[in-house]
Structure 1
């Protein structure tokens, strides 16, 4: 927002104050250095260019005072100095005083090379440049603290989102343990029993092995279902879990129930909600999420979608196939910073449930 304004002001100063091409080049160098510093400051990486930009703008001011006679040549250093000083780890006050003193002293040096009226030189080359630099530097100190607080809040929010994703992974791991841990324990007991009966009761051994085979087959199927988020889910439980995860990440949640959800499609809608919740926490910078439930559908809308092409989300791609295979439709849209994920079954039930 401020970059076009700074560029416009700099261009106007060059056009109005430069009387020769040489003066225009000198003034333009200061403006360009100021714009470069602002761009890197906005990217929170000013330290890479701060020193070169300070040197260039300081040199432009000195040339403007002693050689070209341009009293607007302080524009560059009045931008770069206030941007750089608040980011110093220490001695910021002395640095601010030093930059202001340099601007004032350099401007006062105009008296050595001109016979212009004393008061005019002091106002144009000392008081105005030093005053503008001092005021802008003073204003940047509270701004820097504000941006620091914003950065800390963003980091805290990212950590909360990461923790929410980790909790979801732990829940998945718990489900996997519930499936396989019990099975492996039972298999171990049955195999131990079969070993003991191997030479005394072959028929019982055969029965135990058949049961082991059945148990292992069931566990494989359950594990596959879990891996593809196809394990039977409770929509109400998933809704409560999603609300808890979003609130833990500092995201406001609004739930609208237009009608009671058809029990036949509840499981698939629960899967859509779970996958969408994970995607929002991982890929968006959301501040608000709205979940709308109808008799045979769900719509989740979040803000904070990044201005980029629609990402390829494998989990949703898998769900799209399953929803379509059961007579429904999964819609994913991104527009104006908002992301919509919606699933609907026009006939009110999935084929799989019939």
Structure 2
């Protein structure tokens, strides 16, 4: 937006002061230096061209004062200097003073070669050029800070976007683990049961194989829904599925409903129930499981827990981060052969992640 304006002003100044073609060429170099510096400054990489552009603009101002009688020859320097000086890593204040001093000293040198009125020379070659350069340079310092803040905000947004991608990938991996891990373990149990009964109870074997087929089909459907971001867990369906699995494994299961579960937290509670069911079937020698539902939470207690230290349960660890992130609490305890998993949302809160 500013580049055409800078170019137009530079062309007008060259047309005003240049009396010959070579003067126009020299003054034009100052304008070109200003435009090049501005383009690279806008690209936030002015350091690449700062020195050559400053050198060209400084020489043009020197020639304009001592040779061409062109008091507007400071135009290039008044653009390049304010753009380059605030970008210096250190000694910016000293550099700004040096820039203004150079413009003033070179302008004052006009008194050595001319018999013009002193006040006119001081105004046209010293006060105006040095004043304009000083004002523009002083303006660019807070302006540079502003652009620095904008750059930091852009970097912060980029980092947040990257973190969002990482979080989404972790969520997808966790959901995929919930689906596939749960299904494969149940399929393993049912096939093991079918192998034991293949000779003694063919009808039961056939039933188990039908259930395996249905379970695999359902898992394929859930995987597709996950891939297209359409998967939503239903707590009631997960509760019924958990009961069937525990009963099929010969585990006595009891469900207590102390209240209707808040619909806003139902999906996360369903994930906790599914992951806990898989852990019980995989890691415990349970004989009894008690599931308690309240308006804002679920508690699952089973016996048959190992007396060894609590194993690393990565699925629950991932779920804990999700539950906490949505305003809830996830408790995992192992004591006296019993294992407790409890998820609660004390204030009935849930985040957008649900």
Distance in 1 of aligned mates of 2:19 and 2:169? 67
**Alpha-carbon offset, residue 194 of structure 1:** 4.1
Aligned equivalent of 1:229? 229
**Alpha-carbon offset, residue 35 of structure 1:** 1.4
Aligned equivalent of 1:110? 110
1:24-63 superposed matches below 5 A: 24-63=24-63
**Alpha-carbon offset, residue 196 of structure 1:** 4.7
**Alpha-carbon offset, residue 220 of structure 1:** 1.7
Alignment coverage as a number of residue pairs: 234
1:1-354 superposed matches below 5 A: 1-197=1-197, 204-205=204-205, 207-231=207-231
**Alpha-carbon offset, residue 34 of structure 1:** 0.6
Gaps of 5+ in 2: 235-354
TM-score calculated relative to the size of structure 2: 0.59
Cα–Cα, structure 1 residues 178 and 3, in superposed 2: closer, same or farther, change >3 Å? Answer: same
Gaps of 5+ in 1: 235-354
Cα–Cα, structure 1 residues 171 and 44, in superposed 2: closer, same or farther, change >3 Å? Answer: same
**Alpha-carbon offset, residue 169 of structure 1:** 3.8
Distance in 1 of aligned mates of 2:198 and 2:76? 91
Distance in 1 of aligned mates of 2:211 and 2:157? 50
**Alpha-carbon offset, residue 4 of structure 1:** 2.5
Q: Secondary structure at the match of 1:70?
A: coil
**Alpha-carbon offset, residue 203 of structure 1:** 5.7
Cα–Cα, structure 1 residues 123 and 214, in superposed 2: closer, same or farther, change >3 Å? Answer: same
Aligned equivalent of 2:261? none
Compute the RMSD of aligned alpha carbons. 2.5
TM-score calculated relative to the size of structure 1: 0.59
Distance in 2 of aligned mates of 1:214 and 1:84? 71
**Alpha-carbon offset, residue 230 of structure 1:** 4.2
**Alpha-carbon offset, residue 232 of structure 1:** 5.7
Distance in 1 of aligned mates of 2:16 and 2:220? 78
Distance in 2 of aligned mates of 1:112 and 1:16? 24
Larger Rg, first or second structure (1 or 2):
2
Distance in 1 of aligned mates of 2:92 and 2:175? 55
Distance in 2 of aligned mates of 1:86 and 1:121? 30
Q: Secondary structure at the match of 1:44?
A: coil
Poorly superposed stretches of 4+, deviation over 6 Å: none
